[in-house]
Structure 1
Amino acid sequence: MNATTSNYLPVRPEWLASATEPALEPELPIVDAHHHFYERPGWTYLLDDYMEDLRSGHNVRASVYMQALTRYRAAGPNALRPVGETEFVTVATAAPQAGEPEVAQGIVGYADLRQGATVRDVLEAHIEAGCGRFRGVRHLTTWDADSSLANPLTAAPKGLLLDPHYRAGVSELGKLGLSYDAWLFFPQLPELFDLAKANPDITIIVNHCGGVVRIGQYSNMQAEVFERWSRDMRELARLPNVHVKLGGLGMRINGFDFEQGGRPPSSTELAEAWKPWMLTCIEAFGADRCMFESNFPVDKGSYPYSNGWNAFKRLTSQASPAERDALFRGTATAVYRLDART
């Protein structure tokens, strides 16, 4: 990969194929709560690529598409250019074949929330472009004193979640019934708590288990990271408008080093590594406020799609049928207002 993708782990098809597992419980209905399409120098992952992963045997019935800087408008006002991504995804996924998953049944786009109240025009343009599928906004807020952690494409200034202009933009989401997806690093969780408490009418979804970081300045602080993260996630769970996505732990910043093995990790190995983090989230938030996500293609640098969902199934093998239905399908369906028949 080149400089624009160096913050991500490289996807190695032959390595992934060397240990791809058949799907466990292939009948279990799934809504993939978080995936992307990428079209970047050195890395393309669009609908056909995602569909290939979906055909690994799991019963993925629908998905939620998450903004990824893809197919912005090439002309027009800068603030409206991200609407091009919603336009592209809406058209690309408009006609699923009979029996195929409804990809991007819900769409989350980008709008610069630092515009404050004036961001409403951008939000309304997204809603129109989404043809009934636009559900909310993600404006990344990742910042850390260790600048090596943040992707240069999406790095944010310090304290953005506390910025009054940004907060004015967030408040516009509530007026239009839109949700807010939060991607940040775990030391920023108290700032998100403050934002969520100030906006109880807005549905907030914490991405990727709350921004687990175990490299850089945190590489020798494993116990301290878990203690601080778990404390702040439990505090967030006190707020009923906050939900959490379980996944996204195959990234470079997570420090699990799955990519360093001669073969991809098995679902058993993934489940064991993820267990403390994901079970803490489920215990704190409850199954009806947690949802599983693939975070593909980002996590594809660490394991095959099938192994990831197998790991989620292993992790929840002792849960009740109702809890499992919420984690794999129901919570995402409710939070993103998807077709309940999915």
Structure 2
Amino acid sequence: MGAAVTAEPAVAPGLVDAHHHVWDLSVRDQEWITGDALAPIRRNFSLADLLPEARAAGVTATVLVQTVTVAEETPEFLALAAGSDLVAGVVGWTDLTSPDVADALAETRELPGGQHLVGIRHQVQGEPDPQWLLRPDVRRGLAAVGAAGLAYDLVVLPHQLVACVEAARGHPELTFVLDHLGKPPIASGALEPWATAVRSLAALPNTVCKLSGLVTEADPRTWTVDDLRPYADTVLDAFGPDRLMFGSDWPVCTLAASYAEVVDAARKLTDSLTESERADLFAGTAARVYRLRLSEAS
């Protein structure tokens, strides 16, 4: 799906938030929300909660991203997108290791809202095998994602970036989207070996990166924009604005910052860009990579 990086969106986009979540604990548990640090987000978050904050920040379209490895979540998200004038795309989940993954993707697209499916993601960060992406069954699944014209979101830890590079090199037809910069250790201030690994990934033309998730990788109580800047500068230099997209990571970001503060931090981190470059990072890249069909209102 390398062509997805350069494909034109339907219309000129407004501000796009390319990464957020919602969940309802009465529908299903979010088993990853455990411990005191995550306690503030162990409650329901809906599109109705997000809408006023997004609109106030100038966001006119979003991409809703999966949270759990449960097949039922993706149809629910597609139905939400179908009934929303905010959600333009859904990054869902499917079992990449299944021999029937191609059929599962095709069936998902026939569901209500199926036209909003723009990508697939799996919590690779939780896999104990650092080479999980390179397993033969997973690679077969990645090939099916590419053949379906979808992107693949990478949610990984820094030590898993080496496998990401090999997977992206082995699937030039598929666009890989690195979530949250690959979760660099911002709180520690260390750049290496993360920076070298992320530059290796960026060297491949079928990769893009989300400028997202920074505030929660920093110290959530004391972070400043200056703490985030070395990491943002690294991906700006490695990928360029036309292969970067803004994402809020709401509501996870609320552990460290409000929605408005996350948007403001992203603007400050990109204050050296031209107007055209900022348009790419804050909308154009997401519209191209995810092939978002944005309304005129967006």
Fold match by TM threshold 0.5: yes
Choose the corresponding residue for 1:114, options 88, 97, 101: 97
Amino acid at match of 1:285: F
In the TM superposition, residue 85 of structure 1 has moved relative to its aligned partner by 2.3
Q: Paired residue for 2:105?
A: 123
In the TM superposition, residue 103 of structure 1 has moved relative to its aligned partner by 2.4
SS of match in other structure, 1:180: strand
Q: Paired residue for 1:136?
A: 119
Q: What TM-score, normalized by structure 2, do the two folds share?
A: 0.84
Task: Tell whether the 8 Å contact from 1:64 to 1:106 is kept in structure 2 after alignment.
Answer: yes
Greater CA radius of gyration, 1 or 2?
1
SS of match in other structure, 2:204: coil
In the TM superposition, residue 214 of structure 1 has moved relative to its aligned partner by 5.8
Q: Paired residue for 2:268?
A: 314
SS of match in other structure, 2:87: strand
Q: Does 1:257 align with 2:256?
A: no
Once residues 16 and 108 of structure 2 are traced to their aligned partners in structure 1, the CA distance between those partners, rounded to angstroms, is: 22
Task: Tell whether the 8 Å contact from 1:250 to 1:300 is kept in structure 2 after alignment.
Answer: no
Once residues 187 and 245 of structure 1 are traced to their aligned partners in structure 2, the CA distance between those partners, rounded to angstroms, is: 18
Once residues 14 and 120 of structure 2 are traced to their aligned partners in structure 1, the CA distance between those partners, rounded to angstroms, is: 26
In the TM superposition, residue 238 of structure 1 has moved relative to its aligned partner by 1.1
How many residue pairs match? The answer is 267
Q: Paired residue for 2:34?
A: none
Question: Cα gap change, 1:165/1:93 in structure 2, threshold over 3 Å: closer, same or farther?
Answer: closer
Amino acid at match of 1:63: T
In the TM superposition, residue 277 of structure 1 has moved relative to its aligned partner by 0.5
Once residues 90 and 211 of structure 1 are traced to their aligned partners in structure 2, the CA distance between those partners, rounded to angstroms, is: 27
Q: Paired residue for 2:206?
A: 241
Task: Tell whether the 8 Å contact from 1:89 to 1:104 is kept in structure 2 after alignment.
Answer: no
In the TM superposition, residue 328 of structure 1 has moved relative to its aligned partner by 0.4
Once residues 228 and 306 of structure 1 are traced to their aligned partners in structure 2, the CA distance between those partners, rounded to angstroms, is: 31
**Superposition CA RMSD, Å:** 2.0
Q: Does 1:105 align with 2:65?
A: no
Task: Tell whether the 8 Å contact from 2:213 to 2:253 is kept in structure 1 after alignment.
Answer: yes
Matches within 5 A, 1:135-284: 135-142=118-125, 155-158=126-129, 159-213=131-185, 222-223=189-190, 226-251=191-216, 254=217, 256-258=218-220, 260=221, 269=224, 271-284=225-238
In the TM superposition, residue 290 of structure 1 has moved relative to its aligned partner by 0.4
Task: Tell whether the 8 Å contact from 1:39 to 1:45 is kept in structure 2 after alignment.
Answer: yes
Question: Cα gap change, 1:214/1:321 in structure 2, threshold over 3 Å: closer, same or farther?
Answer: closer
Q: Paired residue for 1:34?
A: 19
Q: Paired residue for 1:327?
A: 281
- Aligned-residue identity in percent: 34
Once residues 155 and 101 of structure 2 are traced to their aligned partners in structure 1, the CA distance between those partners, rounded to angstroms, is: 19
SS of match in other structure, 1:240: coil
Amino acid at match of 2:21: H
Q: What TM-score, normalized by structure 1, do the two folds share?
A: 0.73
SS of match in other structure, 2:15: strand
SS of match in other structure, 1:275: helix
Task: Tell whether the 8 Å contact from 2:17 to 2:246 is kept in structure 1 after alignment.
Answer: yes
1:55-91, Cα deviation, whole Å (9 max, x unpaired): 4x21101001101139x5xxxxxxxxx1x32332233
Q: Does 1:94 align with 2:93?
A: no
Once residues 95 and 137 of structure 1 are traced to their aligned partners in structure 2, the CA distance between those partners, rounded to angstroms, is: 21
Task: Tell whether the 8 Å contact from 2:150 to 2:290 is kept in structure 1 after alignment.
Answer: no
Once residues 46 and 315 of structure 1 are traced to their aligned partners in structure 2, the CA distance between those partners, rounded to angstroms, is: 28
Task: Tell whether the 8 Å contact from 2:208 to 2:243 is kept in structure 1 after alignment.
Answer: yes
Structure ranking higher on relative contact order (CA contacts 8 Å, 6+ apart)? 2
Task: Tell whether the 8 Å contact from 1:205 to 1:244 is kept in structure 2 after alignment.
Answer: yes
Amino acid at match of 2:282: F
Q: Paired residue for 1:47?
A: 47
Q: Paired residue for 2:293?
A: 339
